[in-house]
Amino acid sequence: MRREIRNVSDLKLDPANQRISFKLKKQKVIATDSDLHKILWEMDSVKELYNSIRQNGGLIEDPIVRTDNYVVEGNCRTVALRELHKKFPDDARFTQLYVRVLPAGVTEEQLTLLLGELHIAGKIAWKAYEQAEYVWKMNNLYGKSYDFLANHLRIGKSKLQQKILAYEETNNYIKYSGDDKAIDRFSHFEEFMKKKELRDERERDPHFMARFFEWVRNGQLPDSRDTRFLPEILKNKEAYDKFLKHGISEAKLVLFKSNPSLESNLYNTIDLASSELETIPLVEIEALRDGDTAKIEKLERLKRALQKIDNYVSVTIK
């Protein structure tokens, strides 16, 4: 790329802009430049960017443009500068700007790779849905493998798969619900895909996702993090009944009563420690038999802690 000066008024917004792709899909139109400007200017983040540019007296990062002045990276900055130029027409700081101009022969695939480097692996992160859409495109449209994407984006392969599945199911939910705020539910589907039990249930039961869509749409999972409790709820009939009739809060009370480690770091740690001790490797047993004082002291400390609790609450710990 080469660095050049352009007039703010000459720059054109990109209809393929990742930040507004969902809104454009919903409208089912190819938006004009003025439409794109309006959509971006309505975003709070762009107004915050406007204030930042005004305070700084210009941009910190150059937008990236094609030779015909279409902005492929920096559409939000362009809109903010346009608004500043409108408000301060005689201020040279908001009349012209430096841009980085792409080579004439750059391919769409090369450009997509660049945007991923900037907005997923780089410091100017897209929102979660936008990142997932990008990963889906790279995998499905450009045929990039998980190995390639993991190296390119510095994201583990399992997380990449979760993003793709979450993106696909979010789009299915959008079609199913017609919810104007459906894109804001992406975090529900991202949490869903983190749980192997839920992914397995999705594969096993062809109607399970429709049920999950209803729970999301009806507000039975008001916080996306509540999705993490679904595997335990599905295994507990009382909790499941409470969930269907009264919502997630009542269901969690049932779960916490039967398994305090679900809400308590203390009891979760006890579960983890118990599991480790129950499956202690032979090499560790040999170290204790050989008198490894540091390791023996750790176990003695645990024993003293249990005895102390026993004295406090009069519970016999056998």
Say what the pLDDT of residue 207 is. Answer: 95
Considering the domain architecture, whether residues 173 and 94 belong to the same structural domain is answered as no
pLDDT at 125 > cutoff 80 = no
Considering the domain architecture, whether residues 96 and 119 belong to the same structural domain is answered as no
Considering the domain architecture, whether residues 21 and 80 belong to the same structural domain is answered as yes
Residue with tokens 């507990």: 236
Is 52 inside any structural domain? yes
Considering the domain architecture, whether residues 164 and 95 belong to the same structural domain is answered as no
Considering 56, 85, 105, which residue would you say is the last residue of a domain?
105
Q: What is the pLDDT of residues 204-225, one digit of tens each?
A: 999 999 999 999 998 899 999 9
Is 308 inside any structural domain? yes
The share of the chain scoring above pLDDT 90, in percent, equals: 55
Beta partners for 7? 96
CB atoms within 10 A of CB 264: 13
The candidate with the shortest Cα–Cα distance to 78, out of 102, 115, 50, 56, is 50
Considering the domain architecture, whether residues 34 and 86 belong to the same structural domain is answered as yes
Q: How confident is the model at residue 312 (pLDDT cuts 50, 70, 90)?
A: confident
Is 117 inside any structural domain? yes
CATH, residue 88: 3.90.1530
Is 46 inside any structural domain? yes
- Phi, psi for 97 (deg, rounded to 5): -155, 160
Say what the pLDDT of residue 25 is. Answer: 60
Residue 239 to residue 304: CA distance in whole angstroms? 36
Considering 74, 105, 136, which residue would you say is the last residue of a domain?
105
Say what the pLDDT of residue 32 is. Answer: 85
Is 248 inside any structural domain? no
Considering the domain architecture, whether residues 100 and 113 belong to the same structural domain is answered as no
Considering the domain architecture, whether residues 207 and 124 belong to the same structural domain is answered as yes
Q: What is the pLDDT of residues 166-206, one digit of tens each?
A: 999 999 998 888 776 777 889 999 999 999 999 999 999 99
Residue 193 to residue 172: CA distance in whole angstroms? 14
Is 39 inside any structural domain? yes
Lowest mean pLDDT among 19-33, 118-132, 243-257: 19-33
Question: How far, CA to CA in Å, does 265 sit from each of 15, 38, 270, 283?
Answer: 47, 47, 9, 29
Mean pLDDT of 249-275: 88
| Residue 133 structural domain | 107-218
Is 199 inside any structural domain? yes
Average pLDDT, the chain: 88
Considering the domain architecture, whether residues 98 and 42 belong to the same structural domain is answered as yes
Contact (Cβ atoms closer than 8 angstroms) between residue 36 and residue 17: yes
Residue 79 to residue 11: CA distance in whole angstroms? 10
For 97, the token pair is 């700007």
137-145 long-range contacts (CB < 8 A, ≥24 apart) are 137/112, 138/112, 139/164, 140/164, 142/109, 142/112
Considering the domain architecture, whether residues 89 and 52 belong to the same structural domain is answered as yes
3-state helix/strand/coil string of the chain: CEEEEEEHHHCECCCCCHHHHHHHHHHCCCCCHHHHHHHHHCCHHHHHHHHHHHHHCCCCCCCEECCCCEEEECHHHHHHHHHHHHHCCCCHHHCEEEEEECCCCCCHHHHHHHHHHHHCCCCCCCCHHHHHHHHHHHHHCCCCCHHHHHHHHCCCHHHHHHHHHHHHHHHHHHHHHCCCCHHHHHHHHHHHHHCHHHHHHHHHCCCHHHHHHHHHHCCCCCCHHHHHHHHHHHHCHHHHHHHHHHCHHHHHHHHHHHCHHHCCHHHHHHHHHHHHHHCCCHHHHHHHHCCCHHHHHHHHHHHHHHHHHHHHHCCCCC
Say what the pLDDT of residue 167 is. Answer: 93
Considering 73, 89, 105, which residue would you say is the last residue of a domain?
105
Residue 93 to residue 74: CA distance in whole angstroms? 17
Considering the domain architecture, whether residues 97 and 120 belong to the same structural domain is answered as no
Domain count, the chain: 3
Is 124 inside any structural domain? yes
Say what the pLDDT of residue 47 is. Answer: 93
Name the residue type at position 89. Answer: P
Beta partners for 4? 99
Considering the domain architecture, whether residues 41 and 131 belong to the same structural domain is answered as no
For 207, the token pair is 């109607």
Considering the domain architecture, whether residues 186 and 139 belong to the same structural domain is answered as yes
For 7, the token pair is 């007039």
